[in-house]
């Protein structure tokens, strides 16, 4: 393990936290997982024909998309849970707000991207923060965005029942500004980003070799040796006429 020399988190805590994140990464997929939300063979047919790809290529792309979606959730784990190592009263509750400092009365909801919440989700989050202020008027509630449109710490202007509302204690904060608040160092997030590739390399090299296991194509062949046909039967085998479906 290298010396990472970040003043706000120890080398050991950073290494262990990155390791926990890497270990959550998904390396295996089978047909049941692949078809969990029922694959649309008609869309895959369009994709193959329109983009001039084989059916196998578009299925491989869908497999990678599903694996990537799972791994994106794990990056959310990384961003949220790192704050429990920062001390000074910061903690990550099991339920409720994502990050809390009871002493400073700061309550945080964290999102990876500024555009990941639809209007209903945004309203629900904002109303939850309003409820927190009723319970604790001196509280400061924050929507912290990792990928924000700009560096900011501003009042969150939300639309509730088509009316624009805001409160000085309900904030919209970019992750760099939140790191500044937590650590007192305005470049803390930048420093973490600089060290992160080295930490990940250290972690990956310390882990035993992990092989990817993908049984999707082998299982599809059991349905039919014709890959496009197997995809249609996977989705529509109980539909009328598909007992005699041919491609």
pLDDT of residue 87: 93
pLDDT of residue 115: 66
Spatial separation of the C-alpha atoms in residues 230 and 247, rounded to whole Å: 10
pLDDT of residue 209: 67
Q: Which tokens is 151 given?
A: 């560096």
Q: Are 89 and 104 in contact (CB under 8 A)?
A: yes
pTM of the model: 0.83
pLDDT of residue 69: 84
Q: Are 128 and 158 in contact (CB under 8 A)?
A: no
Q: How many CB atoms lie within 10 A of CB 126?
A: 23
Q: How many CB atoms lie within 10 A of CB 190?
A: 12
Q: Are 213 and 28 in contact (CB under 8 A)?
A: yes
Q: For the chain, which residues score pLDDT lower than 50?
A: none
pLDDT of residue 239: 94
Q: How far, in whole angstroms, is CA 93 from its chain's centroid?
A: 18
């Amino acid at each position: 393990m290298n010396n990472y020399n970040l003043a706000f988190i120890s080398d050991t805590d950073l290494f262990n936290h990155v390791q926990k994140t890497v270990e959550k990464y998904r390396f295996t997929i089978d047909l049941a997982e692949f078809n969990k939300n029922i694959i649309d063979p008609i869309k895959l047919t369009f994709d193959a024909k329109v983009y001039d790809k084989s059916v196998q290529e578009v299925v491989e792309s869908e497999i990678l998309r599903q694996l990537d979606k799972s791994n994106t959730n794990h990056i959310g784990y990384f961003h949220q849970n790192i704050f429990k190592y920062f001390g000074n009263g910061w903690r990550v509750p099991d339920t409720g707000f994502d990050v809390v400092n009871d002493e400073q009365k700061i309550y945080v909801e964290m999102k990876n991207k500024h555009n990941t919440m639809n209007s209903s989700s945004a309203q629900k989050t904002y109303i939850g923060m309003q409820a927190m202020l009723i319970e604790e008027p001196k509280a400061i509630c924050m929507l912290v965005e990792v990928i924000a449109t700009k560096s900011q710490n501003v009042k969150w202007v939300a639309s509730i029942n088509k009316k624009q509302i805001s409160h000085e204690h309900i904030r919209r904060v970019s992750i760099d500004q939140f790191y500044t608040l937590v650590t007192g160092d305005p470049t803390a997030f930048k420093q973490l980003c600089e060290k992160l590739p080295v930490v990940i390399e250290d972690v990956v090299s310390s882990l035993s070799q992990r092989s990817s296991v993908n049984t999707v194509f082998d299982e599809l062949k059991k349905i039919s040796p014709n890959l496009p046909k197997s995809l249609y039967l996977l989705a529509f085998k109980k539909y009328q006429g598909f007992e005699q479906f041919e491609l």
